[in-house]
């Protein structure tokens, strides 16, 4: 990224300008990377590091309330200072988040203010339409647009690729699909044409599907350290943090560590958008509370029998609805416990002061 650039080259727009409320001497900067308790920011005068103001930390405890890669922040930095101080987080236009890995009922922020999310899957070892649907649900929930990249096309024949493309379309996925090979560079120009100046693109997918190698190709140098491809065709890379990179053409890209688990949390709108055909059909069912599992007069089941939607798509719809309902309930219970514990601490402190 050039040392000096205009904010609009970093993704700034009128949308953010209308909502920015940075009080002098604060200025705006964008989060390029997060390293534990330090934030690497980029502004009009280049990169610099910053820490969160103590007051901000005191009032914001949730993961999603902390700045993540792609966020815009209000930061104070005196001339000659090595570090700035972040005082506020600007409203996010879009976000990409998931349920935290494991049994933790909380959100994990992936990136913010992303225009497009490029979901990367390998044709060879990683092809998984169900996982594609999960990614698409969370992309739609966050307000970004999705593009599917099918990599390693050099490792499968044309018939296999055609079957995979047909399978994706058969379950109702309509997002653009770009097949490509990092080895032969077939499809690379198609990806390059998608990358517009001033727009932000987040690459997500499992480890080894070729995300970092692809970004290396786009950057034109080994910006990301990558390892050789294994004998099975599964790549191994060492991306351990998210980082915002500005390409020579002006597009901004975010690489991500591999994510095999992509839990669904708070995704009702994303599910409704991804399964708009099922939601539309549901309005014609005889019963308003139809579960689409066997009730008479179910328009959704009738569409399955007619071949208008696939049984696989309906099964995925049911599974994701059940998962997000369970996780949302668990998250609400966790938040209630957190609030109750917070009230207990305040009461205990008050009792100590009164003594």
* Biggest CA pair distance of the chain: 79
Range of the domain at 185: 95-255
CATH number of the CATH domain containing 110: 3.40.50.300
- Of 147, 122, 75, 155, give the one whose Cα is nearest residue 258: 122
Looking at the structure, tell me whether residues 80 and 125 fall in a common domain. Answer: no
Which structure tokens are listed for 220?
A: 């034109």
- pTM score, two decimals? 0.76
- Rounded Cα distance between 84 and 45, Å, is 13
Inside any domain, residue 184:
yes
What is the predicted pLDDT for the residue at 189?
94
Looking at the structure, tell me whether residues 46 and 139 fall in a common domain. Answer: no
Last residue of a domain, one of 67, 89, 111: 89
Looking at the structure, tell me whether residues 78 and 108 fall in a common domain. Answer: no
Which structure tokens are listed for 223?
A: 């910006």
What is the predicted pLDDT for the residue at 240?
55
What is the predicted pLDDT for the residue at 120?
93
Looking at the structure, tell me whether residues 181 and 299 fall in a common domain. Answer: no
What is the predicted pLDDT for the residue at 226?
39
The model's pLDDT over 278-327, given as tens digits with 9 standing for 90+, comes to 888 888 888 888 889 888 889 988 988 998 888 888 888 888 777 777 76
What is the predicted pLDDT for the residue at 324?
72
- Rounded Cα distance between 57 and 286, Å, is 51
List the beta strands (DSSP E) in 77-151.
83-89, 95-99, 107-112, 116-122, 145-151
Inside any domain, residue 262:
no
Looking at the structure, tell me whether residues 235 and 272 fall in a common domain. Answer: no
CATH number of the CATH domain containing 317: 1.10.40.50
Looking at the structure, tell me whether residues 16 and 34 fall in a common domain. Answer: yes
Looking at the structure, tell me whether residues 116 and 239 fall in a common domain. Answer: yes
72, β-bridge pairs: 30
- Of 74, 77, 69, 75, give the one whose Cα is nearest residue 94: 69
Last residue of a domain, one of 233, 255, 277: 255
Backbone angles phi, psi at 40, to 5 degrees: -90, 115
Q: 59-81 burial, b if ≥16 CB within 10 A, otherwise e? A: eeeeeeebbbbbbbbbbbbeeee
Residue 176: helix, strand or coil by DSSP?
A: coil
| Contacts for 221 with CB less than 8 Å, ≥ 6 apart | none
Looking at the structure, tell me whether residues 248 and 287 fall in a common domain. Answer: no
Of the chain, the end-to-end C-alpha distance in Å amounts to: 59
Number of domains into which the chain is organized: 3
Looking at the structure, tell me whether residues 114 and 29 fall in a common domain. Answer: no
- Rounded Cα distance between 273 and 290, Å, is 19
Low-confidence residues of the chain: pLDDT under 70: 1-5, 99-106, 221-240, 258-273, 327-355
Distance of CA 162 to the CA centre of its chain: 27
Torsion (CA) 319, 321, 325, 328 in degrees, nearest 10: 100
Looking at the structure, tell me whether residues 166 and 191 fall in a common domain. Answer: yes
| Contacts for 231 with CB less than 8 Å, ≥ 6 apart | none
């Amino acid at each position: 990224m050039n040392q000096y650039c205009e904010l609009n080259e970093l993704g700034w727009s009128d949308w953010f300008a209308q909502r920015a409320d940075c009080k002098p001497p604060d200025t705006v900067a964008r989060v390029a990377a997060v390293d534990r308790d330090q934030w690497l920011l980029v502004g009009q005068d280049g990169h610099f590091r910053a820490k969160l103001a103590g007051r901000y930390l005191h009032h914001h405890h949730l993961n999603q309330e902390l700045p993540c890669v792609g966020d815009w922040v209000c930061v104070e930095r005196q001339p000659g200072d090595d570090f700035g101080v972040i005082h506020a987080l600007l409203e996010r236009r879009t976000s990409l988040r998931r349920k935290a890995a494991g049994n933790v009922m909380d959100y994990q922020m992936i990136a913010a203010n992303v225009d497009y999310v490029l979901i990367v899957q390998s044709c060879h070892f990683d092809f998984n339409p169900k996982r594609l649907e999960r990614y698409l649900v969370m992309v739609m929930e966050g307000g970004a647009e999705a593009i599917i990249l099918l990599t390693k096309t050099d490792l499968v024949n044309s018939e296999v690729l055609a079957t995979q493309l047909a399978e994706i379309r058969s379950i109702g996925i309509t997002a653009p699909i770009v097949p490509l090979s990092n080895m032969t560079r077939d499809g690379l120009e198609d990806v390059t044409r998608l990358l517009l100046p001033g727009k932000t693109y987040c690459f997500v997918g499992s480890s080894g599907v070729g995300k970092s190698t692809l970004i290396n190709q786009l950057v034109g140098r080994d910006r990301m350290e990558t390892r050789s491809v294994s004998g099975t065709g599964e790549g191994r890379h060492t991306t351990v943090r998210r980082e915002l990179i500005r390409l020579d053409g002006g597009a901004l890209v975010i690489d991500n560590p591999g994510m095999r688990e992509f839990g669904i949390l708070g995704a009702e709108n994303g599910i409704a958008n991804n399964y708009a055909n099922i939601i539309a059909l549901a309005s014609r069912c005889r019963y308003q509370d139809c579960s689409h599992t066997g009730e008479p007069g179910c328009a959704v089941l009738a569409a399955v029998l007619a071949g208008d939607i696939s049984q696989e798509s309906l099964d995925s719809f049911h599974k994701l609805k059940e998962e997000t309902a369970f996780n949302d309930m668990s998250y609400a219970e966790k938040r209630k416990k957190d609030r109750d514990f917070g009230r207990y601490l305040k009461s205990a402190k008050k009792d100590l002061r009164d003594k």
